[in-house]
């Protein structure tokens, strides 16, 4: 009985998420989007940095955090590190479901930029620099 009440307490203590985040893609398009994000030079560099400094214990993972509400809208893709207890977001990207154009969410400035603009303006966005 004590174990059951402890389990019930823990279940009530853990916040329930209402997000539709998924690790596995539901379609060919989603698989293509996830491959596209993982193949970005910035993500590859960041993954190499995380692997090196964690002595191969941690890696970057990508996931579809939010699907488009209607056709033509954007997928919200997160690139995260598994920190054993939770996923820590390293990057937020928006990918257009029709054109596959990628935008980077700058959480500091509170805006999102096309990837090309971000790459030209690296001084402003040191977050993409992993050495």
CATH for the stretch 19-128: 3.10.450
What is the predicted pLDDT for the residue at 66? 95
Contact 44, 60 (CB under 8 A): no
pLDDT of residue 82: 85
Do residues 59 and 51 make contact, with C-beta atoms less than 8 angstroms apart?
yes
Residue carrying structure tokens 């977050």? 127
Q: Token pair for residue 44?
A: 């590859």
Diameter over CA atoms, the chain: 62
Report the C-alpha dihedral over residues 49, 51, 57, 61, rounded to 10 degrees.
Answer: 90
Q: What is the mean pLDDT of each run of 10 residues along the chain (131 residues)?
A: 46 38 71 96 93 92 93 92 88 95 89 87 60 51
């Amino acid at each position: 009985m004590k174990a059951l009440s402890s389990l019930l307490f823990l279940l009530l203590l853990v916040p329930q998420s209402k997000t539709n985040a998924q690790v596995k893609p539901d379609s060919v398009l989603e698989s293509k989007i996830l491959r596209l994000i993982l193949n970005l030079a910035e993500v590859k560099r960041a993954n190499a940095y995380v692997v090196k400094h964690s002595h191969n214990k941690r890696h970057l993972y990508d996931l579809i955090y939010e699907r488009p509400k209607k056709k033509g809208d954007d997928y919200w893709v997160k690139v995260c590190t598994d920190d054993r207890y939770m996923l820590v977001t390293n990057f937020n990207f928006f990918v257009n479901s029709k054109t596959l154009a990628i935008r980077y969410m700058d959480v500091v400035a509170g805006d999102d930029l096309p990837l090309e603009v971000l790459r030209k303006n690296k001084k402003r966005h040191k977050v993409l620099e992993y050495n």
